[in-house]
Structure 1
Amino acid sequence: MQTICVTGATGFIASHTIALLLDRGYHVRGTVRSLARPDAHAFLTALPGAAERLELVEAQLLEPGSFDAAIAGCDAVLHMASPYVMSVADAQADLVDPAVKGTVNVLQSCARTASVQRVVVTSSMAAVTDEPDQSVVLTEADWNTRSSLVRNPYYFSKAEAERAAWSFMETQKPAFDLVAINPFIVIGPSLTAQLNTSNAILADLVKGTYPGILALTWGFVDVRDVALAHVLALETHQAAGRYLCAGNTITMREVVSLLRGLNVTGARLPSLGLDNAVGSVAVKLMSYTQPGGVGSYLRSHVGRVPRYDTSKIQRDLGLSFRDIRISIADAVADMSRWGHVGR
């Protein structure tokens, strides 16, 4: 009966992972920024098995030693706490420092805890590439080397955080081993009413936020598959290195068509076709009027199609991915339930 520490317990992926760990009989110790507002994490303590096997502990990403108490006596750690926002006022302070220093602080706490055997870090495809190239099939060997504090700063934070984790393993040589899960855009039903950044893409399409159908191709993955990937990375002895975690790609036009078929009340789906050469030029020019992170994302992704090889995660962990069309439908139904979109 192992005890697993999950950092950032209230997060979209982390909460699904905790639910799965409890369902499989694990004891879970989740970290939260504050215990002062029990209502903020009541959805976790209400999970089946939580009363007997879930403990919440305060910890702060930027405070060295803050995770010592949470990790003490744990057999493994899932480090999932990291900011996820596309545009911020100060990329260094708001994105890079929490991601990088937080990762190092967690690993240092793990190194001080003799019981920890494995750490699984939630990285991202953002650490693999920030400008997809259809002529290149991405694998675990690829790294994002183009992002910076001004170009796709969120992507930069994820790449720097994962690099810091592998550098720690190389220089400190701790007793535990490290596995990284690199999901693409994570969507699906949520355990809370909070609208996460990835599902907000679908909500924005439904609510008419986009000026038209852009030449964007997304790699989506279901949050339930990502949660399972983390648990399998704990349970599979031979798991090692990085794992790309993504379902099939889908264009914005295909997503809009699928959403139209769901007949969401009050939907204002885009119809203007900007997914062509002229439209892409117009969108890239318009991108300079957008917040920094959004603008750089559009300039580096419009007109580009990501290709990637997920055979390693399927082979090593035995993971198979849900049909992304079902994930989109489930996500929209769930957002309707929480009141983010119409019925």
Structure 2
Amino acid sequence: MSQPLVLVTGGSGFVGTHTLLALLQPSSSYRLRSTLRSVTRADEVRKQLVSGGASESAAAGVEFVAADLLKDDGWDDAVKDCTYVHHVASPFPAAAPKHEDELVRPAREGTLRVLRAAKRAGTVKRVVVTSSVAAVAYGHDDLGRDFTEEDWSDDKDPKIAAYPKSKTLAERAAWEFVEKEGEGMELAVVNPVGIYGPVLGKDYATSIELVYRLMNGSIPGLPQLQLGLVDVRDVADLHVRCMTDPKAKGQRFIAVAEKFVWSVDIAKILKDKLGERAKRVPTWVVPNFLVRLLGVFDPTVRMITPELGKSKNASNEKAKRELGWKPRSNEECIVATAESLEKLGMVKK
């Protein structure tokens, strides 16, 4: 029997590259294909895979196909003969978009484009979609509890930001498509919180920007912001578990390492574990009114202002119980993030 062919969309992205790495483990037996908006980046991705621990021969065996979430071209070629599809690619901006459609459209249309192509292929058994806890825990007033996979963000809330709205609408569209048109094709969804961990190249999750700025002293203080953390290696591992475990069929799984922490706790982890190397990391908590004032002028800051001072948590019990998932600690994923940025020369000496 030939090895199953697996597609990972957005192979140059932070989660995409690590998902490829998880599928390239010596114990795995998959043929791999990935989409890129331009295949000119194929060699760059292969080098990142090698730097992440893959052998050169394994990295060389990954096939790349050009495909864009906003265009039909390339998707039939991408899913041809595939048994499994990981739809990872989706926009996550560093700053608030001028119009929500800049995020909603590619997220929703891109997800449906991948699912339709997978269905047309006729060989795809299961699709695993990277959604987000942004599709779970936003637009709620009852924040004093652990959010679970039973919760959905309220995309009708007029105060909901563009990113959580885009993830909610995209995930709902995926479930609706599979239910009405999937004809037996299975779906599983991973809902990560802020993704940290080893950075392999220039394409990293927007959440990494916080550690990057802290290590370089480019922000004077920390917003009163509570964050969920998860290591990118554990997100990739959960993807692979969702791909093959029968219990994952038709299920969502929140990917969070431990309890949410305040941003100042991240700074304290860096200072405690890295010592002098974290000398530029501030620990001053900026008053909320001042952050909101800065948000008037800085679109990056504006993205976080709706969440200032809000305390929330999400549960990882389902993934641990059903799939045997064992995530790294908050501390480990934050330290790994900083050390990888140092290794890449992105931290000031």
Which residue of structure 2 lines up, in the alignment, with residue 325 of structure 1?
A: 331
Q: Which amino acid aligns with 2:280?
A: R
Q: State the shift of 1:341 in Å.
A: 1.2
Matched, 1:105 2:105: no
Q: What is the total number of aligned residue pairs between the two structures? A: 337
SS in 1 for 2:102: helix
1:109-148 deviations in Å (ceiling 9; x for gaps): 0111121100000000111123675413211111111577
Q: Which amino acid aligns with 1:69?
A: D
Q: State the shift of 1:88 in Å.
A: 5.0
Q: What is the CA–CA distance in structure 1 between the aligned matches of 2:48 and 2:184, rounded to whole Å? A: 31
1:175-209 deviations in Å (ceiling 9; x for gaps): 21100100000000022244431211111122233
Matched, 1:269 2:278: no
SS in 1 for 2:214: helix
Which residue of structure 2 lines up, in the alignment, with residue 228 of structure 1?
A: 237
Matches within 5 A, 1:9-88: 9-23=11-25, 24-43=28-47, 46=50, 47-48=54-55, 49-50=57-58, 53-64=61-72, 66-88=74-96
Q: State the shift of 1:93 in Å.
A: 4.9
Give structure 1 stretches of 5+ with no counterpart. Answer: none
1:280-323 deviations in Å (ceiling 9; x for gaps): 344334433331x641422x211112211211111111101111
Matched, 1:178 2:187: yes
Q: Which amino acid aligns with 2:325?
A: L
1:216-256 deviations in Å (ceiling 9; x for gaps): 12100000100000000012112131111101222222211
Which residue of structure 1 lines up, in the alignment, with residue 253 of structure 2?
A: 243
Q: Which amino acid aligns with 1:4?
A: V
Runs of 4+ in 1 over 4 A off after TM superposition: 146-151
SS in 2 for 1:112: helix
**Higher mean C-alpha deviation, range 93-102 or range 259-268:** 259-268
Q: What is the CA–CA distance in structure 2 between the aligned matches of 1:147 and 1:115, rounded to whole Å? A: 36
Native 8 Å contact 2:96 2:303 kept in 1: no
Q: What is the CA–CA distance in structure 2 between the aligned matches of 1:148 and 1:62, rounded to whole Å? A: 26
Which residue of structure 2 lines up, in the alignment, with residue 198 of structure 1?
A: 207
* Structure 1 residues 170 and 216: alpha-carbon distance in aligned structure 2, compared to 1, 3 A threshold: same
* Structure 1 residues 318 and 255: alpha-carbon distance in aligned structure 2, compared to 1, 3 A threshold: same
**Higher mean C-alpha deviation, range 332-341 or range 141-150:** 141-150
Q: State the shift of 1:51 in Å.
A: 5.1
| RMSD between superposed Cα atoms in Å | 2.3
Q: Work out the percentage of aligned pairs sharing the same amino acid.
A: 32
* Structure 1 residues 332 and 170: alpha-carbon distance in aligned structure 2, compared to 1, 3 A threshold: same
Q: What is the CA–CA distance in structure 1 between the aligned matches of 2:237 and 2:227, rounded to whole Å? A: 21
Which residue of structure 1 lines up, in the alignment, with residue 176 of structure 2?
A: 167
Matches within 5 A, 1:132-171: 133-146=142-155, 151-171=160-180
Q: What is the CA–CA distance in structure 2 between the aligned matches of 1:309 and 1:9, rounded to whole Å? A: 28
Which residue of structure 1 lines up, in the alignment, with residue 268 of structure 2?
A: 257
Which residue of structure 2 lines up, in the alignment, with residue 295 of structure 1?
A: 302
Q: What is the CA–CA distance in structure 2 between the aligned matches of 1:99 and 1:121, rounded to whole Å? A: 11
* Structure 1 residues 282 and 93: alpha-carbon distance in aligned structure 2, compared to 1, 3 A threshold: closer
* Structure 1 residues 265 and 315: alpha-carbon distance in aligned structure 2, compared to 1, 3 A threshold: closer
Q: What is the CA–CA distance in structure 2 between the aligned matches of 1:170 and 1:155, rounded to whole Å? A: 23
Q: Which amino acid aligns with 2:37?
A: R
